[in-house]
Amino acid sequence: MSEHADTHDHDDHGHHHKETFVSKYIFSYDHKMIAKQYLVTGIIMGIVGILMSLLFRIQIAWPEEPNVLFEALLGKWAPDGVMDADIYLALVTIHGTIMVFFVLTAGLSGTFSNLLIPLQIGARDMASGFMNMVSYWLFFLSSVIMIISLFVEAGPAAAGWTIYPPLSAVELAQGGSGAGMTLWLVSMAIFIASSLLGSLNYVVTVLNLRTKGMTMTRLPLTIWAFFVTAIIGVVSFPVLLSAALLLIMDRSFGTSFFLSDIFIQGEVLHYQGGSPVLFEHLFWFLGHPEVYIVLLPALGLTSEVIATNARKPIFGYRAMIASILAIAFLSTIVWGHHMFVSGMNPFLGSVFTFTTLLIAIPSAVKAFNYITTLWKGNLQFNPAMLFSIGLVSTFITGGLTGIILGDSALDINVHDTYFVVAHFHLVMGISALYGLFAGVYHWYPKMFGRMLNKNLGYIHFWITAICAYGVFFPMHFIGMAGLPRRYYTNSKFPLFDDLSDVNVVITVFALTGGVFQIVFLWNFFYSMFYGKKATQNPWRSNTLEWTTPVEHIHGNWPGEIPTVHRWPYDYSKPGHDEDFVQQHIPLKEGEEELQH
Amino acid sequence: MTTFLTILVLVSITVAIWQMVKIFDLTNANRPNTEIANDKDNKINGYLMIAFLVFIYLMMIICVYLYGDLPLLSNSASAHGPQIDNLMIISLVLIFAVQILTQFLLHYFAFKYKGEKGRKALFFADNDKLEFIWTIIPVITLAGLIIYGLFTWTEIMFVEEDEDTVVIELYAQQFNWKARYAGEDNVLGKANVRLIDIDKANILGLDESDPNAQDDVITTELHIPVGKQILFKMRSQDVLHSAYMPHFRAQMNCVPGMITQFAFTPTVTTEEMRATEQMQIKVKRINEIRKEKSKELAAKGEEALEPYVFDYLLICNKICGTSHYNMQMKIIVESEEDYKAWLKEQKVFKNSLVKN
């Protein structure tokens, strides 16, 4: 397992073998390169996912009107430029799948776990560089299959990203449930394998490869977040895999795990005895922890960015760890709040209401701790800091409505309406996306040795922040007015006619926000080659990754790995001249190691 | 086309901004560390934080003012409706209060403590008392909400059936609803999708040999008597659907292979609801919108929209395929006499079968 790392221990310079283009950029074992591969793949998938959302937002705002964009991008699915109802559902489905799994799971956690775990704990590389490489290439393969599924004759999967059977299982129910759904399932199965390989690697690396002095309570909160996220992933992803496999069995081999008593298009199907509710249980056993798989890394990155840029220790370090652990534990016993009206026993609904609302407590602690960290700080508004503050803001707004949705009695009336869409987009979608952006702006110098343009960063943040609120805040209200989600058009319900202008406003914000991501893309790819050269520790940060040279080398440190003497949050500590003290600097005589 | 133009405009704005940034950069070319926030950046962004706070508040005020009083939120038409609405309003008030306060603290601190060269932040890593306070406050608040919520939930979901309860089956299929009434005997006949016989017009798969099924009545409109507890038994023949009746604060999924249920007591008849002032305002507003749209349609040579008349609706609220967006059934709440008279006019099952 550690053969790879060992070679480096004996080789101080890290240039012991000649690198070819293929071994450096493609089948690389190096965690830093793999992180970049994850990031670039994630960004490309993100472009696809966001573009899809813009298309269906246009349809919702101006239903059934011809549009050149549809004609150009959707081809046969937009006869005369009018979007087809099936492709609308497919766009919604694939948008959800791509954003949740490919961008915010692999793109976020994959990138930063890979980049930061070895660098921040003081390791030469991941525990298994080979497994790490396999993990990335499986992710790449699953992305390719997902993209290919878009071009299937009968249409891509269109049963919603939750793919509830029978809709997803029976081809007669929907065109997208044919080859499109098969590819979706294959892609996801491979994705899960990738995610599991990655997660196991992260857990092992954090447990075994910490440098001397790096105790668990001296780990930066980023590492805590990645570590716990990986554990949640290992616990819950296999359950989704089993659900996917059983669904494949039902679809292709005639079993009846999830299906029973179906009469469709004039024929009775042979299925007997299965239950779609079983699938819902299995799906949400991953599906809910998945929210935290997406969110925790973002919160971890934010903790680090906020502390560094506030020039202040993160407030309540131990409470932060405790709330990460509490959230992780609770996240595995709340899945039923997605199923209050699924037909399961109402008593179960009571239990899940109880556990769900409990999650608000550690979440509130985290939010308050962030706010207190800002208090009496010396805030440096680098773009990463703006995105981190933005994250706290959307995390609060989105999280608060969870109190309504987690309450089974209230969920009856807002379940599956736009209220839900608003809630989860703010609390996990936008928040996690902000976390991703904060991470990219903050660690770009570490990844590419160059700086991102800060002014473009400011423009990117402020426009995105305004548009994100503009899109998702009004959605709460159309949801409370009873508007169901996933409707191709609301024109069949005159009842909702007075909501159509809200939908136009939302779409205009969405289009603006979507288009302005170009600023980020441009900044990202341009700065890679022409950005200002980075210094070793541009943000004057405490953590170990900033003690490595700007140029990437195998094994990360040219000499010995530094020994750690203190926690990572000694910012503005009295008794020091600088307002930061890096982790590898020994305690002064008589200095107390204050770390709580 | 308008969309395309909008996007073009936005793209050109982006290009313009980029060029401005470029010029700005060129003037700074020789200074080190130009990509790290300096005091000027901190100041500008600090003020923008306050501007953003104002934006969030404005957004909240505008949304509440324009859409906060949607009739669906405040005038329910079922016995348990006001309970849900009460809890909803309590939760909303609480949420708004916390939102206003925390967003203020977050953005105000961001503004107040914007970085200045030479200032040192306060080394403040921990405070047990503070942390205890903001752990215990959510605990107490949530305990209250959980208890209130659970009582409401239990009352709604654990139905006590009595002799007076009207049992109605809701039957979902892609993409329409049917209702089945139990008839004189007040017992729904046995049914299974395997018994569906389209040729004989046995569309819901009732057991033709079951005596209880003979007097069942199948309709495409849902009539329910006001003031009586209605127990819905729900079935689906193909995929998941969700029977959503927003005005009655009622929702339950319809699951193939099992029977789900939900019960409520309607309290306001369709006529009464139409006559309420709030509803009349809403209907008027909607009809003005429809008139405007009709003008546009007429200009294109298309048919005008019909004026809107309020009706309760049963809506499908679980993605179920192509026409999911148009799976609905009209609900009519009426007096018991009207209801009984209407029911009498309907064909009973044994008479609706096509005899060979």
pLDDT tens by residue, A58-81: 999 999 888 888 988 888 999 888
List chain A residues with CB under 8 Å of B98: 396, 400
Which of residues 288 through 317 in chain B touch A, CB cutoff 8 A?
Answer: 289-290, 305, 308, 310, 313, 315-317
Model pLDDT, residue A9: 44
In a domain, A71, yes or no: yes
B95, part of any domain? no
In this prediction, residue B9 carries a pLDDT of 72
How many CB atoms neighbour CB A408 within 10 A? 29
- Does any CB of chain A come closer than 8 Å to the CB of residue B195? no
Give the residue from A450, A446, A546 showing the smallest Cα distance to A33: A446
Whether residue B114 lies within 8 A of chain A, CB to CB, comes out as: yes
Tell me the C-alpha distance between A269 and A278, whole Å. Answer: 19
Question: What is the value of pTM for the model shown?
Answer: 0.93
CA of A67 to nearest chain B CA: how many angstroms apart? 6
Closest C-alpha among A313, A339, A336 to residue A220: A313
Give chain B positions within 8 Å (CB) of A409. Answer: 83-84, 87, 149-150, 152-153, 156
Classified as helix, coil or strand, B180 is: strand
Q: Which residue range is the domain that position B245 belongs to?
A: 166-272+306-352
State whether residue B34 sits within 8 Å of chain A by CB: yes
Nearest CA in chain A to B95: A400
Dihedral of CA A411/A413/A417/A422: which sign? negative
- Contact at CB, A400 and B95, closer than 8 angstroms: yes
Which residue has 């009846």 as its token pair?
Answer: A256
In this structure, is residue A595 part of a structural domain? no
Inter-chain residue contact B126 with A164, CB threshold 8 Å: no
Residue from A89, A379, A533, A536 to probe the interface with B (highest B Cβ count within 10 Å)? A379
Q: How many domains does chain B have?
A: 1
Q: Token pair 């075994």 is at which residue?
A: A208
Nearest residue, CB atoms, B18 vs list A342, A458, A522 = A522
Query: What DSSP string runs through B82-128?
Result: HHHHHHHHHHHHHHHHHHHHHHHHHHHHHHHTB--TT---------H
Q: Does B30 touch chain A (CB under 8 A)?
A: no
Nearest CA-CA distance, residue A245 and chain B, Å: 20
Residue of B nearest to A510 (CA): B7
Cα-Cα-Cα-Cα dihedral sign, residues A289, A290, A291, A296: positive
Nearest in space to B193 (alpha carbons), one of A227, A260, A523, A88: A260
| ipTM entry | 0.92
User: Is the omega angle on the peptide bond into residue A313 within 30 degrees of 0, that is, cis?
Assistant: no
CA separation (Å) from B3 to A55, A150, B294?
A: 10, 24, 22
Contacts A494 to B, Cβ<8 Å: 286, 290, 305, 308
Interchain CB distance below 8 Å, A596 and B196: no
Which candidate in B41, B103, B240 is best for mutational testing of the A interface (most A CBs within 10 A)? Answer: B240
Closest C-alpha to B59, from A476, A513, A426, A391:
A476
Find chain B residues with C-beta within 8 A of A580's C-beta.
none
Q: Say if CB A136 and CB A126 are below 8 A apart.
A: no
Q: Is residue A123 part of a domain?
A: yes
Interface test with chain A among B65, B176, B253, by most A beta carbons within 10 Å: B253
Interchain contact B258–A (C-beta under 8 A): yes
pLDDT at B3: 59
Q: What span, in angstroms and rounded, lies between the C-alpha atoms of A338 and A160? A: 14
| Greatest extent of chain A over all pairs of C-alpha atoms, in Å | 85
Q: Are A310 and A378 in contact (CB under 8 A)?
A: yes
Q: Which of B114, B192, B313 sits opposite A261 (nearest CB)?
A: B192
Decide if B330 is inside a domain. yes
- Specify the CATH number for the domain of residue B265: 2.60.40.420
Q: Which pLDDT belongs to residue A514?
A: 93
Closest approach of chain A CAs to the CA of B351, in angstroms? 23
Interchain proximity A173–B174, CB inside 8 Å? yes
Residue of A nearest to B158 (CA): A346
Question: Which runs of consecutive H residues, i.e. helices, occur in B180-306?
Answer: 270-275, 277-299
Angle between helices A276-310 and A317-331 (to 10 degrees): 170
Q: Which residues, 6+ apart, have CB-to-CB distance to A256 below 8 Å?
A: A250, A270, A271, A272, A273, A274
Q: For B120, which of A62, A317, A579 is closest by C-beta distance?
A: A579
Name chain B contacts of A572, Cβ cutoff 8 Å: 120-123
The closest CB to that of B7, out of A160, A369, A511, belongs to A511
- Shortest Cα–Cα distance, B31 to chain A (Å): 11
CATH number at residue A97: 1.20.210.10
Closest CA of chain A from B271, distance in Å: 16
Q: Which residues in chain A have their CB less than 8 angstroms from residue B191's CB?
A: none
Distance from CA of A329 to the nearest CA of B (A): 17
The total domain count for chain A is 1
The tens digit of pLDDT for each residue in B4-43 reads: 666 677 677 767 767 776 776 676 665 666 889 999 999 9
Write out residues 207-236 of B within 8 Å (CB-CB) of A.
Answer: none
Assigned domain for B348 exists: yes
d(CA A224, CA A325): 9
Residue B52's closest chain A neighbor by CA? A466
> Measured between beta carbons, which residues in chain A are less than 8 angstroms from residue B286?
494-495, 497-498
| Structural domain harbouring A133 | 3-7+23-259+268-547
For residue B19, give the chain A residue with the closest CA: A456
AA letter at B293: K
Angstroms from B235 CA to nearest CA on chain A: 10
- pLDDT confidence of residue B73: 60
Do the Cβ atoms of B125 and A317 come within 8 Å? yes
Q: What is the pLDDT at residue B30?
A: 58
Q: How far is B284 from chain A (nearest CA, A)?
A: 10
Q: Name residues of chain A where pLDDT drops below 70.
A: 1-18, 595-596
Using an 8 Å CB-CB cutoff, list chain A residues near B100. Answer: none
Contact B35 A538 (CB under 8 A): yes
Q: Across the interface, do B55 and A469 touch by the CB < 8 Å criterion?
A: yes
The angle at the Cα of A233, spanning A341 to A358, to the nearest 5 degrees, equals 50
Rg (CA), chain A: 24
Residue A270: both structure tokens together: 């042979």
Torsion of CA A336, A341, A345, A348, to 10 degrees: 30
Measure the CA–CA gap between A472 and B43, rounded to whole angstroms. Answer: 28
